[in-house]
Amino acid sequence: MTLTKTLAAVLPTPGRLGYRFNLAGRTGLCVIAFWALIAVFGPLMSPYAPGEIVDWDYFSPMSGQFWLGTDYLGRDMLSRILMGARYTVGISLAAVAITVTAGVLLGMTAAVIGGWFDMVLSRLLDALNGIPSLLFGLVVVAAVGSSIPVLVLTLAAIYIPGAYRYARALAVNINTMDYVTVARARGETTFYLATREIFPNILGPVLADLGVRFIFIVLVLSGLSFLGLGVQPPNADWGGLVRENLEGMSLGAPAVIFPSVAIATLTISVNMFIDNLPVKIRDRSE
């Protein structure tokens, strides 16, 4: 018990490791937190039901009644964007969680076991990495149709090879460290080596990688929805909202601008946050 307490007392926090976030990094973090809160609580705050036609006019501008205007059917944009956050952020988070978990597990296993297991797995996943991401999405959606579970799994599958390659490269580096050799010479199992010796030391870069892949996934999901292959009407994620209201573009309608702005603020802030992490964590292999 005392030893576990010893461990807990020295969690490698930013301050302890000798770095801090600068202004841009903090701003990024704040915007991320904002959208995370919206995704959870947004629909509770929305002034109208997202699917309800509330305005006789369509593409109406911003007003006191409809803060972000209305869409092509006269539905309230603010409510639809708040609801869209749940789809965009939720689907992307679920997908990125699957991607990174699978990538890290496979990557660490390949690094520790090595040999032909590593070779076959690496070759196979590298080959899958050769399929352009949006194309992969198109093909799968064309084949099995679009639903939220299909989207989550497809998006996850697209980025597993990349997450694997990244985690494996990190784990291979750590695996050559003397402390891993010492543990191996002590007689520790593969499981112990992977979870206790290697994992804590790749966690930082893996979290940064998670952020990068989250952005990719948001972009591909938005792209799919924009092509009409993502979240299906009457529901819509942010990419879908842009597609629905594309006709309003020539009018400069807020209905087409604000969903785009929502996507941009989310992805830019994640990028800003990651870019301002200390080099030793950010160090991406791309």
Q: Pick out residues in 105-144 that bind other proteins (CB under 8 A).
A: 123-124, 126-128, 130-135, 138-144
Say whether 93 sits in a helix, a strand or coil: helix
Q: Which is nearer to other proteins, 65 or 181 (CB)?
A: 181
Torsion of CA 285, 212, 91, 268, to 10 degrees: -160
Binding track, positions 171-210, relative to other proteins; x by CB under 8 A: ------xxx-xxxxxxxx-------xx--xx-x-------
Say whether 147 sits in a helix, a strand or coil: coil
Q: Give least dist CB 229 to other proteins, A.
A: 7
Q: In sequence order, what are the residues at sequence separation of 6 or more whose Cβ sits closer than 8 angstroms to the Cβ of residue 284?
A: 166, 205, 208, 209, 212
Contacting residue, 94, 156, 229, 231, with other proteins by CB under 8 A: 229
Q: Give least dist CB 16 to other proteins, A.
A: 7
Other Cβ atoms closer than 10 A to 273: 21
| Residue 226 in contact with other proteins, rule: CB under 8 A | yes
Q: Which span (50-58, 100-108, 164-172, 246-254) binds other proteins, by CB under 8 A?
A: 246-254
Contacting residue, 37, 40, 120, 268, with other proteins by CB under 8 A: 268
| Residue 147 in contact with other proteins, rule: CB under 8 A | no
| Residue 215 in contact with other proteins, rule: CB under 8 A | yes
End-to-end CA distance of the chain: 41
| Residue 18 in contact with other proteins, rule: CB under 8 A | yes
Cα distance between residue 28 and residue 142, in whole Å: 36
Cα distance between residue 28 and residue 128, in whole Å: 32
- Scan residues 37-96 and list those touching other proteins (CB under 8 A): none
Cα distance between residue 92 and residue 105, in whole Å: 20
